[in-house]
């Protein structure tokens, strides 16, 4: 098999046995990027030289016996939302086009400490706002299964690069579905850990109470390997909890006897793509055949999740994005006469339309007189949504449902209608609102050959059960080996 097609698990076992070298693996991935990324646009920055140096270092360490673990010498992508010292971190925006961060995000540092080779920064929707990677200032990423279609978003670059083997895996972020939805559209695995499991330090903020980093990989095993590396307490992020992270590879077990799997009726929404519905139901039936006990449940406030999200997320975004004023970071408009003029023009020229829309929505929702009616009310509904899950998890261990109501759509299909775009996340958002862990894994293909995803959600800090169910299903489902023919 060509080296870039290996999973992280496979590659790392070969590296450990010294049957392949990090250098040849990294070079083969870089080679594939130079051949294919002109078509896909899954990277904003490719760090060929730095990656080769890192691979060489990994090789020297491994041959001298200083093996660091399963990510040692593995070429990974990183969504361009994580800062890395001396490498541009654009967040998909003109505003940060020339921003060279002076430090590493905790995720970046942990990946580097694990000995991984960061090969480049993946394309994304501007400031992670979007579901299709079409809002990137650096142009859209194409879906490797059909380049006329979107890869999903906002971590579309990470998902497309992983699916097309332009990295062995990547780390993305999920505020309302941005890891799971693109994973579903690109036929790969993507996991949003529990809020607080992974540090947000150095991860450019969108909506701070929802944002969470997580792996995008080819297999569930690979997700466990990356999650092991990036989890854990960080004193520099006060919302990163101080509970010990278990070894997630211990959850890679087969057989689901005794596992109670809840299926929420509300997630099979009217208007959902029939092929998606069928594939999801088949996947759930297989989980039943593997010993899982399938239990119908209700999450009655599901229909309010998108509405709640589009108050909370823009509100937090409007506050977080106030820092881009032309003084502290990145872009500054030229020839402004006054300070006020400079602020106005910098923000007018530096941000794209979707970001401006969110800032306006959020500023409105937080303004005096409207705060109680919108933001406070949304926070109350948030509690109701969380309570639905608490009650469901008294009866079940995990919840299974489709990741998105559709397969990858065509470019331009939703850009003219923001509400249509927002509804792409109708099934992923509740998990963020409640702060739960969730994984999306491939569960079939449409007649057009487009991937379909199913998600498994778990109790807070019980990523283990989520990984167990996803892995057991993956072993028997038969989608793991299917790759885009690009």
Q: Which residues bind ligand GLN (CB under 6 A)?
A: 128-131, 154, 174-178, 206, 313, 425
Smallest distance, Å, CB 378 to ligand GLN?
A: 14
Smallest distance, Å, CB 39 to ligand GLN?
A: 24
Smallest distance, Å, CB 194 to ligand GLN?
A: 15
* Burial (CB count within 10 angstroms: exposed 0-12, middle 13-18, buried 19+), residue 55: buried
> Looking at beta carbons only, is 111 or 213 nearer to ligand GLN?
213
Do the Cβ atoms of 349 and 333 come closer than 8 Å?
yes
Peptide bond into 154 cis (omega under 30): yes
> Looking at beta carbons only, is 141 or 154 nearer to ligand GLN?
154
> Looking at beta carbons only, is 61 or 413 nearer to ligand GLN?
413
178 counts as catalytic: yes
> Looking at beta carbons only, is 243 or 415 nearer to ligand GLN?
415
Smallest distance, Å, CB 154 to ligand GLN?
A: 4
Smallest distance, Å, CB 352 to ligand GLN?
A: 13
DSSP 393-461: HHH-SEEEEESSSSSPPBTTTTTT-HHHHHGGGTTTHHHHHTT--EEEEEEEE-TTS-EEEEEEEESTT
> Looking at beta carbons only, is 71 or 305 nearer to ligand GLN?
305
> Looking at beta carbons only, is 362 or 484 nearer to ligand GLN?
362
Dihedral (C-alpha) 379, 384, 387, 391: value to the nearest 10 degrees?
-170
> Looking at beta carbons only, is 33 or 91 nearer to ligand GLN?
91
| C-alpha R_g of the chain | 21
Smallest distance, Å, CB 309 to ligand GLN?
A: 7
Do the Cβ atoms of 191 and 218 come closer than 8 Å?
no
The active-site residue, picked from 7, 178, 251, 446, is 178
Smallest distance, Å, CB 425 to ligand GLN?
A: 5
Q: CA distances (Å), 424 to each of 7, 55, 240, 280, in order?
A: 29, 39, 28, 17
Helix, coil or strand: residue 87: strand
Smallest distance, Å, CB 27 to ligand GLN?
A: 32
Q: Which of 155, 74, 164 is nearest to 121 (CA)?
A: 155
What residues have CB less than 8 Å from 88, skipping those under 6 apart?
44, 45, 80, 96, 97, 98, 99, 100, 121
Smallest distance, Å, CB 122 to ligand GLN?
A: 13
The active-site residue, picked from 42, 154, 251, 465, is 154
Position closest to ligand GLN via CB? 178
Tokens of 390: 């608490």
Look at strands 438-445 and 189-192 and give their pairing: antiparallel
Q: Which of 202, 254, 15 is nearest to 3 (CA)?
A: 15
> Looking at beta carbons only, is 178 or 308 nearer to ligand GLN?
178
What residues have CB less than 8 Å from 197, skipping those under 6 apart?
212, 231, 240, 241, 245, 437, 461, 463
Which 8-state DSSP code applies to residue 4? G
d(CA 473, CA 286): 7
231 counts as catalytic: no
Helix, coil or strand: residue 261: strand
209 counts as catalytic: no
Strands of 451-458's sheet in order across? 43-46, 117-122, 75-79, 169-173, 213-217, 189-192, 438-445, 451-458, 398-402, 260-264, 293-297
> Looking at beta carbons only, is 368 or 419 nearer to ligand GLN?
419
Residues labelled as active-site residues: 79, 154, 178
């Amino acid at each position: 098999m060509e080296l870039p097609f290996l999973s992280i698990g496979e590659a790392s076992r070969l590296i450990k046995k010294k049957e392949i070298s990090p250098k040849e693996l990294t070079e083969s991935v870089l080679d594939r990027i130079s051949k294919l990324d002109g078509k896909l646009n899954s990277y904003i920055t490719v760090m060929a030289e730095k990656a080769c140096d890192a691979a060489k270092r990994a090789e020297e360490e491994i041959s001298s016996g200083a093996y660091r673990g399963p990510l040692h010498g593995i070429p990974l992508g990183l969504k361009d939302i994580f800062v890395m010292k001396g490498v541009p971190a654009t967040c998909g925006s003109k505003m940060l086009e020339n921003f060279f961060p002076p430090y590493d995000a905790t995720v970046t540092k942990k990946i580097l400490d694990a000995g991984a080779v960061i090969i480049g920064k993946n394309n994304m929707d501007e400031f992670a706002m979007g579901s299709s990677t079409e809002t990137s200032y650096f142009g859209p990423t194409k879906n490797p299964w059909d380049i006329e279609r979107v890869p999903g978003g906002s971590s579309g670059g990470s998902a497309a690069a992983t699916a097309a083997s332009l990295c062995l895996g990547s780390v993305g972020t999920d505020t309302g579905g941005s890891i799971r939805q693109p994973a579903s559209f690109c036929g790969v695995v993507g996991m949003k850990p529990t809020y607080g499991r992974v540090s947000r330090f150095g991860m450019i903020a969108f909506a701070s109470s929802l944002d969470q980093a997580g792996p995008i990989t080819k297999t569930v095993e690979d997700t466990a390997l990356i999650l092991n590396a990036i989890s854990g307490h960080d004193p520099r992020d006060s919302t990163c909890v101080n509970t010990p992270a278990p070894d997630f590879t211990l959850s890679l077990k087969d057989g689901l006897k005794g596992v109670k799997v809840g299926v929420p009726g509300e997630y099979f929404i009217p208007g959902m793509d029939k092929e998606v519905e069928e594939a999801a139901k088949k996947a759930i039936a297989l989980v039943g055949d593997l010993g899982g006990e399938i239990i119908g449940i209700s999450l009655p406030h599901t229909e309010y999740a998108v509405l709640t999200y589009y108050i909370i997320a823009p509100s937090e975004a409007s506050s977080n994005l106030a820092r881009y004023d032309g003084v502290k970071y990145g872009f500054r408009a030229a020839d402004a006469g006054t300070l006020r003029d400079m602020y106005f023009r910098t923000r007018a020229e530096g941000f794209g339309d979707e970001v401006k829309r969110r800032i306006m929505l959020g500023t409105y929702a937080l303004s005096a007189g409207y705060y109680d009616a919108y933001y406070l009310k949304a926070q109350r509904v948030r509690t109701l949504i969380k309570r639905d899950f608490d009650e469901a998890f008294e009866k079940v261990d995990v919840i299974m449902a489709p990741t998105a109501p559709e397969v990858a759509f065509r470019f331009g299909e939703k850009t003219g209608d923001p509400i249509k775009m927002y509804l792409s996340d109708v099934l992923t958002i509740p998990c963020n609102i409640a702060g739960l862990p969730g994984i999306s894994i491939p569960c079939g293909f449409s007649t057009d050959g487009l991937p379909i995803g199913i998600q498994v959600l778990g109790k807070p800090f019980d990523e283990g059960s989520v990984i167990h169910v996803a892995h057991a299903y993956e072993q028997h489902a038969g989608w793991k080996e299917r790759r885009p023919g690009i």
